[in-house]
Structure 1
Amino acid sequence: MNPFEAARTKAHEALGNTVVKELNKKGYQAVYAPTREAALEEVLKLIPEGAVVGVPGTVTIREIGAMERLAERGCTIHHHWNPNLTPEERMQTLMDEYCSDYFLTSANAVTRDGMIVNIDGNGNRVSAMAWGRNILIFVIGINKVAGSLEEAISRARAATPPNVLRLSGSTPCIQTGHCVDCDSPSRVCRALLILERPTNGRRTHVIMVGESLGY
């Protein structure tokens, strides 16, 4: 590792552990993983073989290779990004994600003092993060850390243009490269969730990763 990479790694570790400390103070079960490979191993420690896992719209979970490894371990994975689903099957899969034993997702942003921020179009992700009888697991890249709640909301909105492009959408943000608080019928910023603490009775894990992941 060259000295530039070493410095970046140490800075990411310091920041990640700062956020982990704050998350644990707020009642989350949080750990730091230096790499995506280490993050995947943390996920596998939490999810047993054969479990039913819901994975909503999240690039991060796919980037760490969780889908493949969970399938190898005999887990049933419900995810509505499956391109082979009919509209009816997609709606059922959204419900299956919600009701899975584990809800495995990421976040659009997290503040240095441990508030987790997400913006959603359909509301399926944020509703499942806000309430559920299952175990909630966040995997969050170091690029998602923001200094304040205002910055976190701005950072969450910054994820919109690439997501719209991924969905072949046509909102104004794909022309400007940033959120313009549009009134487009295809707007995907419709529901904002700020988790100040884990919701009552919910076992919630957070794995902070020392790499940039997702949008």
Structure 2
Amino acid sequence: MTTPKEWHRETLGKKVVEALKKNHFAAEYLPDKEAVRQRILELIPTGASVGIGGTVTIRDELNITDDLKKRGHKLFIHNLPHLSPEENAALRRQQLTADCFLASTNALTLDGELVNVDGVGNRVAAMIYGPQKVIVVAGINKVVENVDSALKRIELWAAPMNNKRIGLPNPCTTTGVCMDCQGATRICNVTTIIRKKPSQTDMTVLVVGEELGY
């Protein structure tokens, strides 16, 4: 029997998918992590190189990197602990020209808009143009009413938790909410709103009926 929570997640997710399709994105609703993991593997062509943005959803919660390695894909992952700053920067650039790029989104509006805030900008750059195929995964917790709600969600949830995850000494790691800091380690530098599918980017958005990422 479907619970009210499951019903609401599916109803909300499918509503967002329809809005995304009106904005010319390929979009699908999937019920759980396993379904979305399998769908990603279906969407990535054999032999394709794969860039992975700084995403808790893809790397930590879907656990898909091992599957991609086993299939022989060349992976560009920049935020591994053993990398030098030069290696990190080189991998970020390689993500821009990978055959496929995997990312999440900070927020997804009911009108089918993707809202993101980056520190460096490599993630949002690769989402918009460069890779032949972009796959964006959004947990149902990322769905918000509109762009204003999206920005508030980022300030209240995504920014503080990502700062804490990375270990940066920004004020939000103490207050739990964005303080619009001005320090050199600030990660809220580049804000993008993708209102329609970029005209030369093959982009698929997978909306998942579970809470994923920050």
Q: TM-score range by the shorter chain?
A: over 0.9
* 4+ residue runs over 4 A deviation: none
Which blocks of at least 5 consecutive residues in structure 2 are unaligned? none
Cα distance in 1 between the residues matched to 2:177 and 2:47: 41
- SS of 1:125's equivalent in the other structure is helix
Where does residue 147 of structure 2 map in the other structure?
Answer: 149
Whether the 8 Å CA contact 2:13–2:208 is kept in 1: the answer is: yes
Any idea what the Cα deviations from partners look like across 1:180-200, whole Å, max 9, x if unmatched?
A: 111122111000000001111
Q: Does 1:12 align with 2:9?
A: yes
User: Structure 1-normalised TM-score?
Assistant: 0.95
Partner of 1:22: 19
Which residue matches 1:195? 194
- Return the letter of the residue paired with 2:108: V
Give aligned pairs, total: 212
Partner of 2:94 in structure 1? Answer: 96
What is the rounded CA distance, in whole Å, between the counterparts of 1:100 and 1:12 in structure 2? 33
Q: CA deviation at 1:130?
A: 2.2
- CA deviation after TM superposition for structure 1 residue 133, in Å: 4.5
Aligned AA for 2:51?
A: G
Aligned-pair CA distance for 1:98: 1.3
Deviations 1:90-121 (A, max 9, x none): 11111111110001100000001100000000
Partner residue of 2:137? 139
Output one character per residue of 1:120-144: Cα deviation in whole Å (capped at 9) or x when no partner: 0011111112222421110000000
Report how far residue 48 of structure 1 moved: 2.4
Per the TM alignment, residue 50 of structure 1 is displaced from its structure 2 partner at its CA by: 2.4
Distance 1:207 1:100 in 2: 20
Give the corresponding residue for 2:31. 34
- Between 1:150-159 and 1:13-22, the stretch displaced more is 150-159
SS of aligned partner of 1:159: helix
Aligned to 2:82: 84
SS at match of 1:136: strand
Q: Is the 8 A contact 2:37 2:64 kept in 1?
A: yes
Residue identity matched to 1:92: A
Q: What SS does the aligned partner of 2:16 have?
A: helix
Q: CA RMSD in A?
A: 1.2
SS in 2 for 1:207: strand
Residues 65-100 of structure 1 show CA distances to partners (whole Å, capped at 9, x for unaligned) of: 121211121111110012121221111111111110
How far apart, CA to CA, are the structure 1 residues paired with 2:165 and 2:176? 13
Give the superposition deviation at 1:165.
Answer: 1.1
Instruction: Tell me which residue corresponds to 1:46.
Output: 43
More divergent stretch after superposition (97-106 vs 85-94): 85-94
Residue type of the alignment partner of 1:55:
I
Aligned partner (choices 49, 52, 56) of residue 53 of structure 2: 56
Aligned to 1:163: 162
Q: Which moved more, 1:176-185 or 1:138-147?
A: 176-185
> Distance in 2 between the 1:67 and 1:144 partners?
22
Q: Any gaps of 5 or more consecutive residues in structure 1?
A: none
CA distance in 2, matches of 1:161, 1:65: 23
| 1:210 match | 209
Cα distance in 2, alignment partners of residues 34 and 49 from structure 1: 25
- The whole-number CA distance in structure 1 between the counterparts of 2:166 and 2:82 is 15
> SS in structure 1 opposite 2:206?
strand
1:66 equivalent in alignment to 2:64? yes
Q: Percent identity?
A: 41
